[in-house]
Structure 1
Amino acid sequence: MPQNKKFGTFAGVFTPSVLTILGVIMYMRLGWVVGNAGLIGAIVIIIIAHVIAVTTGLSVSSVATDKKIGAGGIYYVLSRSMGIPIGGSIGIALFVGTAFSIALYLIGFAESFNAYLGFGTTISDLRLTGTIALSALTILALISTSVALKTQFIILAAIGISLISICFGSTEFVPTTVHFFSTENAVPLEVVFAVFFPAVTGFTAGIAMSGDLENPKRSIPRGTLYAIGVGLLVYLFLAVFMAYTIDAEVLKTDYNILMKIALFAPAVVAGIWGATLSSALGGILGGPRILQAMSMDKVTPTFFSKGKGQNNEPVNALFLAFVIAEVGILIGELDIIARVVSMFYLTAYGFINISFFLESWANPDFQPKFKVKRWIGLIGFIACFTIMFKLDMIAMIAALAIISAMYFGLQRKEVKLQSNDVWKSVWENVVNKGLKRIDAQVEENSNWNPNIILFSGKSDHQKYLLELCKTVSGRTGIVTNFKLILDKENSKPPLKKIDQIVRDEQFKDLGIFARQIKVDNIYNGIKNIASTFGFSGVEPNTIMMGWPKGIENSEEYSKMTQALIHLDYNLLYLDFDRVSKFGNYSSVDFWWRETDSKNAEMMLNIARFIIASPRWNDTNIRVLFVNNNNVDVSIIETKISKLVEDLRVNVNIKIINNAVEQKTFYTIIEEESIATNLTIVGIPDFNPEKQAEFVLKTNSLFESIGSTLLVKAAQNFNELDLDLLNK
């Protein structure tokens, strides 16, 4: 079986890259850049553009030496590091940008070709010449990639000869004054930069050939960086040369001035034509390979994955590139096409840089042979989007909107690869560092941030318990639900770790983590989980479960409760009314008494979270206080109002005078909260011997009112001063 023809660093990466860099912009627009921006302005533009090129080149080179590189160049690198959604959306942008850049080079060729041979230079004339050139190059690419690449060596030599001819050329346009900065009638620097920037995008031409390289991990870094370096030196030299040898006004108006000053004009013509045609050829060879690789991954229609010959030349993808390039040619104006190309490439380069930064920062498996400091990628990312913002904020927003739409579309399409993407590592790193920061902080009396262990099993009303638990946990709280599977005989082995994780839409929708654990005793199981679950930084602080009825004399339940109190958990018990449920979510009552000093603050925190919940946001919250000691009502209201105000909770306060009638606390609750959707009552301190009495009274209360949440606060809550006897 014949071996596929593979290329080395010089032929496969450096040559196509440097020919694209030293292309249409250098010959046809660099003088215009110097004329409008001045020498210093031109140098600044060249350097800023190359900062983006160098950072992006370093980023992609580093990533390229970490993973196996296949066909598709930058798309392949991104999709294997950041996943298909981002790799695909940026790959599409890069493919379209590459296809449009073909039009850029061919319109530049048409400007020079028509002017030199005396043909028409109207937009229609340029369109005709550009279309003919596009057709010829497409046919050449169809015949043989190898032949196409070999022609580039001749063109590289022609460019070198043309530059020598320019340097030893005429001095009749020497300026009387060298302009270092832009003049009054000059084009704005943002526009000048946008037109110039495609000059530095050529390094992607070599990377796009990754599938045809003999050793891509070696060739891509070397060929890419050498091409960028050569391009930078040539552009800086030519900018200085033009500023000192050609008048600024001539530079602004005459796009063919280099031919006129050259020692041997045909050499410059050959350089211009060769550079523009080879750049276009680089896009014709590289662009379709990006689309072909995406189609093989089913990001784009598989029709474009079809190829021909032993090298699987991307014939179908080539025809789509041809169509997009022809659309660009029909635009007909080089400056407009250049600005469109700039936006596509800046967007792609920004994400390439952030891809490298995230890989090197978060992925422990990232071990590239070509080492680059991660902050280089971050600088490149910031530079790209800063420049985009300065160039055209609306175009930047539109580009990001299109990329985002493609990203979410690919996410929904659920295209997956047998490779990990960087996002899992990013989140693991963020969580790791966040936990360390949290664990390092000394915990003082601060706002309660719930981390709740919830015990609930599958039942008809489980969703209401889950819903209330998520409401009580607030926006940033954590809820982990445990389902306890009872095996009294302990006859079965423990569940495997993977089987302990519960994947269910109900939990996913509410943002609740779920586990299932086998236990031989429910109460011991709860104690063991409460004692061991969690880790530094995010230790659970609250236990929530349904109110267990019929266990008032259970010694095991009593020991479990005392253990949870000893562990200093907040305790929440929900007695759910299966008939009224939570009603219409319109009323919540909080019951306070003098002995509820810590429970009161916890209740106010719960009130804060309930108000913030969309389901309860229109509810009427009342704080009810039983005045058993004939204290002045105004004193009580003032004190409670201040406590409520400090915690920024909007509630209604009701004082119930009970000094004369001396009704029991539960009797008053029955009278006042009979129609309340959710009643919240504190659990007082009592001796374990009196548990049965407390449970029986509480069960009786639950028969008379709707859904009720019992609250027992941990020691870390503040003691609110509710002792009103001395006030």
Structure 2
Amino acid sequence: MPDKKKFGTFAGVFTPSILTILGVIMYMRLGWVVGNAGLIGAILIIVIAHVISVSTGLSVSSIATDKKIGAGGIYYVLSRSMGVPIGGSIGIALFIGTALSIALYLVGFAESFNAYFGLETTVNGIRFSGTIALVTLTAIALISTSVALKTQFIILAAIIISLVSIFFGHSEVASDSIQFFTSDGSVPMEIVFAVFFPAVTGFTAGIAMSGDLEDPKRSIPRGTLYAIATGLIVYIALAIFMALTIDAEILKTDYNILMKIAFFAPAVVAGIWGATLSSALGGILGGPRILQAMSIDKVTPKIFGSGRGKNNEPINALFFAFIIAEIGILIGELDIIARVVSMFYLTAYGFINISFFLESWANPDFQPTFKVKRWIGLIGFIACFAVMFKLDMMAMIAALAVISAMYFGLQRKEVKLQTNDVWKSVWENVVNKGLKKIDAQGEDNFNWNPNIILFSGKSDHQKYLLELCKTVSGRTGIVTNFKLILDKENVNPPLKKTEQVVRDNLFKELGIFARQIRVDNIYSGITNIASTFGFSGVEPNTIMMGWPKGLENSKDYSRMTQTLMHLDYNLLYLDFDRKVKFGKYKTVDFWWRETDSKNAEMMLNIARFIISSPRWDNPVIRVLFVNNNNVNIEIIHSKISRLVEDLRVLVEIKIINNAVEQRAFYNIIEVESKTTDLTILGIPNYKIEKQAEFVMNTNHLFESIGSTLLVRAANNFNELDLDIIKANDEIEAKEFD
């Protein structure tokens, strides 16, 4: 097969861009803009519009010199930078905008053509002439892209001659004074801007031809920026010329005034027709290529991806663009079409600018040869949506709603490319900066955010341990589950990094990270992971696992627990009742001992997370305290109430007098919490109770009550010291006095 014909900067980018820029708006509506907005207002509109076009042109030019730009132009850039869902959504909007812009140019052509030949200038007359022009241009595009592009050189010459004729012309309707600002009875500036804005969108015509360029990385930046700069100069010069030479009222009402004042009127007619037809031809050439590229990526139906001939001309996509353009022509009102086209292009340009900003900010692999300051992209993004908001807030909301619907639709289709989009780099950058901020601040237990290492095992009640772990971690906590693969003989090599990552739907649904690792001893494996896992800023602060009921040697458990306490971890051990599970998820008992000064604050934080959990629907949380010293109940209640209130937890408080009977603590729990859905206990200080005895007594307790969570707080939690004996003595002393 012969090599595909390629084009350079002038033929492939500058020419189609400048012909679209110097198009229908310049000839048919720039005078109307000056008449309604005044000279200063018109220049302001031109400058603001070019802030958007220049920033977008710089953004896309920079991306073009970093990435290989294929067919589809702007769509290709967005889909490879921000992913198919966003790129495809904007690509569809851009294709529709381009197709409707064809209608815009041909309606402008029809207005001039009908007026020149004395034909009907009614809506139906414009529809007829516009349709004939559309059929003719489509036929030219079908013959060959090369023929179409060569035709544009003739049109460019006609436009240059027409501009010379205008500037050397003379007006018989000159104004006595220059109108610098808008006057009474003028069209609002927002509408004037919306009608004008399509004039500066022409630079995308060249970018859309990216697949037909010899060197896109060189041609796109040069051709695009030269076209934008040329257009800016011509528009400002022509606006000043018209304000100085033509009365403002004439400019408002006579769309063909430039033809009347020109030195050689036929040259202006040729320029108008050439500009409008060339702009439409640029859309006919570029629009279908956007649709073709999207179809190749499976964003749109594959029927539009097929091409014809050695240049792979997008015939099917061309016919679809023809249909949309014809629908626009049937509207028949240039100003209405222009305002719709403005919204489509502003949306697309906004995302192009933010795409460049995110690439340059977050992607370390972004190394363009055409370097642009990243804030230019941010300014362009803000300017696009600020202008959309000012022009028509409801239209902006509608446009974003449609884009969002397309985004979620493409996301559900799970269309993916071989290339990586920028979002991974964005999130990595956000995480990096966030970790540094967190690391610099230290941990605040008042706003404790759990980062839990979970050892859930593979038992039949694993999912309940996972469920409770997610509950006590709250909305923003992090949970990493480790599966320990026991290899007592230590004969197998360690798992590779890729093998350590566990992909499981259960973990994915719960938002839990999952890893697996091979160990020769469960307890030493746990302590090794606790000693090494994590990194600065998000160090794990909590260890959670099931209570080891079948513990053969309490020394292993005790040694592990002592090590974890030495590492200053919060400890959570769940004894799960296989029969009743978590009951009805309605009651939680929190046992507060005098020796639970640190554990109490952590348990109250856990209670707060349980209350806010969707699974635990407004549970009744009781704080139970055993009064062994005959202290005044009101004193104890007051102390606990104040501490609980400070931690913003709503609970019921129950004081159990045990000064006379002196029953064992666990015996009291057996009576009070027998039917409780979840009981929370503090792990006592091992210096007070023997470790083996604690394990044995605790196992016995668990046989009598439901699911229980044992808690041991790290040193970062405050000591909630009730100091009730001292408070009681002080009150008694006052009463004695």
| TM-score (normalised: structure 1) | 0.99
* Matched residue, 2:378: 378
* Matched residue, 1:184: 184
* Matched residue, 2:510: 510
What do residues 646-703 of structure 1 show as CA deviations (whole Å, max 9, x unaligned)? 1111111111111122111111111111111000011110239811111111111111
Distance 1:625 1:53 in 2: 70
Q: What secondary structure, in the 3-state scheme, does the structure 2 residue paired with 1:199 have? A: helix
2:21–2:200: 8 Å Cα contact kept in structure 1?
yes
2:18–2:231: 8 Å Cα contact kept in structure 1?
yes
Q: What secondary structure, in the 3-state scheme, does the structure 2 residue paired with 1:711 have? A: strand
Displacement of 1:641 after TM fit? 1.0
Distance 2:312 2:38 in 1: 48
Q: What secondary structure, in the 3-state scheme, does the structure 2 residue paired with 1:432 have? A: helix
Distance 1:508 1:445 in 2: 28
1:279 maps to 2:279: yes
Please tell me the residue identity of whatever aligns with 1:564.
Answer: L
Q: What secondary structure, in the 3-state scheme, does the structure 1 residue paired with 2:377 have? A: helix
What do residues 488-526 of structure 1 show as CA deviations (whole Å, max 9, x unaligned)? 001111111101001111101111000000000101100
Structure 1 window deviating more from structure 2 (160-169 vs 340-349): it is 160-169
Q: What secondary structure, in the 3-state scheme, does the structure 1 residue paired with 2:447 have? A: coil
What do residues 244-270 of structure 1 show as CA deviations (whole Å, max 9, x unaligned)? 111111111111111111111111100
1:291 maps to 2:291: yes
1:552–1:695: 8 Å Cα contact kept in structure 2?
no
* Matched residue, 1:436: 436
Taking the TM superposition and a 5 Å limit, the aligned residue runs for 1:586-601 are 586-601=586-601
Q: What secondary structure, in the 3-state scheme, does the structure 2 residue paired with 1:704 have? A: coil
Displacement of 1:460 after TM fit? 1.6
* Matched residue, 2:497: 497
Please tell me the residue identity of whatever aligns with 2:380.
Answer: G
2:13–2:207: 8 Å Cα contact kept in structure 1?
yes
1:541 maps to 2:570: no
Please tell me the residue identity of whatever aligns with 2:273.
Answer: W
* Matched residue, 1:11: 11
Taking the TM superposition and a 5 Å limit, the aligned residue runs for 1:648-727 are 648-687=648-687, 690-727=690-727
Please tell me the residue identity of whatever aligns with 2:262.
Answer: A
Distance 2:24 2:577 in 1: 77
1:554 maps to 2:554: yes
* Matched residue, 1:72: 72
1:546–1:573: 8 Å Cα contact kept in structure 2?
yes
Distance 2:415 2:717 in 1: 49
Distance 1:110 1:274 in 2: 12
Distance 2:444 2:170 in 1: 80
Taking the TM superposition and a 5 Å limit, the aligned residue runs for 1:144-543 are 144-443=144-443, 445-543=445-543
Q: What secondary structure, in the 3-state scheme, does the structure 2 residue paired with 1:338 have? A: helix
Please tell me the residue identity of whatever aligns with 1:251.
Answer: L
Distance 2:127 2:657 in 1: 92
* Matched residue, 2:51: 51
Please tell me the residue identity of whatever aligns with 2:120.
Answer: G
Distance 2:654 2:554 in 1: 37
Distance 2:628 2:255 in 1: 96
Distance 2:450 2:315 in 1: 59
Change (3 A) 1:697 1:689: closer
1:682–1:712: 8 Å Cα contact kept in structure 2?
yes
Q: What secondary structure, in the 3-state scheme, does the structure 1 residue paired with 2:459 have? A: coil
Q: What secondary structure, in the 3-state scheme, does the structure 1 residue paired with 2:703 have? A: helix
* Matched residue, 1:604: 604
Distance 1:722 1:3 in 2: 86
1:543–1:570: 8 Å Cα contact kept in structure 2?
yes
Distance 1:384 1:99 in 2: 21
Q: What secondary structure, in the 3-state scheme, does the structure 1 residue paired with 2:475 have? A: coil
* Matched residue, 1:109: 109
2:554–2:691: 8 Å Cα contact kept in structure 1?
no
2:94–2:345: 8 Å Cα contact kept in structure 1?
yes
1:82 maps to 2:79: no
Please tell me the residue identity of whatever aligns with 2:177.
Answer: T
Distance 1:38 1:231 in 2: 20
1:353–1:381: 8 Å Cα contact kept in structure 2?
yes
Distance 1:232 1:679 in 2: 74
Distance 1:459 1:182 in 2: 78
Please tell me the residue identity of whatever aligns with 1:607.
Answer: A
Q: What fraction of aligned residue pairs are identical, expressed as a percent?
A: 82
* Matched residue, 2:579: 579
Please tell me the residue identity of whatever aligns with 1:28.
Answer: M
Question: Any unmatched runs of 5+ in structure 2?
Answer: 728-737
Change (3 A) 1:99 1:265: same
What do residues 416-468 of structure 1 show as CA deviations (whole Å, max 9, x unaligned)? 11111111111111111111111122445542111000001222211100000
Distance 1:512 1:463 in 2: 12
Structure 1 window deviating more from structure 2 (603-612 vs 315-324): it is 603-612
Q: What secondary structure, in the 3-state scheme, does the structure 2 residue paired with 1:572 have? A: strand
2:554–2:695: 8 Å Cα contact kept in structure 1?
no
* Matched residue, 1:615: 615
Distance 1:308 1:110 in 2: 31
Q: What secondary structure, in the 3-state scheme, does the structure 1 residue paired with 2:368 have? A: coil
Displacement of 1:721 after TM fit? 2.0
Distance 1:617 1:189 in 2: 55
1:585–1:615: 8 Å Cα contact kept in structure 2?
yes
Q: What secondary structure, in the 3-state scheme, does the structure 1 residue paired with 2:725 have? A: coil
Q: What secondary structure, in the 3-state scheme, does the structure 1 residue paired with 2:483 have? A: strand
Please tell me the residue identity of whatever aligns with 1:492.
Answer: N
Q: What secondary structure, in the 3-state scheme, does the structure 2 residue paired with 1:5 have? A: coil
Distance 1:345 1:134 in 2: 22
1:552–1:691: 8 Å Cα contact kept in structure 2?
no
1:32–1:251: 8 Å Cα contact kept in structure 2?
yes
1:552–1:693: 8 Å Cα contact kept in structure 2?
no
Distance 1:558 1:686 in 2: 9
Displacement of 1:8 after TM fit? 0.6
Please tell me the residue identity of whatever aligns with 2:20.
Answer: T
Please tell me the residue identity of whatever aligns with 1:389.
Answer: F
1:552–1:696: 8 Å Cα contact kept in structure 2?
no
Distance 1:675 1:248 in 2: 88
What do residues 49-108 of structure 1 show as CA deviations (whole Å, max 9, x unaligned)? 000000100001111111111111111111111111111111111100000000000000
1:524–1:560: 8 Å Cα contact kept in structure 2?
yes
1:599–1:682: 8 Å Cα contact kept in structure 2?
yes
Distance 2:591 2:442 in 1: 32
Question: Any unmatched runs of 5+ in structure 1?
Answer: none
Distance 2:214 2:420 in 1: 26
1:82–1:423: 8 Å Cα contact kept in structure 2?
yes
Displacement of 1:552 after TM fit? 6.9
1:123–1:333: 8 Å Cα contact kept in structure 2?
yes
2:575–2:709: 8 Å Cα contact kept in structure 1?
yes
Q: What secondary structure, in the 3-state scheme, does the structure 2 residue paired with 1:457 have? A: coil
Displacement of 1:339 after TM fit? 0.6
Displacement of 1:484 after TM fit? 0.3
2:295–2:305: 8 Å Cα contact kept in structure 1?
yes
Please tell me the residue identity of whatever aligns with 2:508.
Answer: K
Displacement of 1:376 after TM fit? 0.7
1:131 maps to 2:127: no
Please tell me the residue identity of whatever aligns with 1:652.
Answer: E
* Matched residue, 1:42: 42
Distance 1:181 1:662 in 2: 93
Q: What secondary structure, in the 3-state scheme, does the structure 2 residue paired with 1:726 have? A: helix
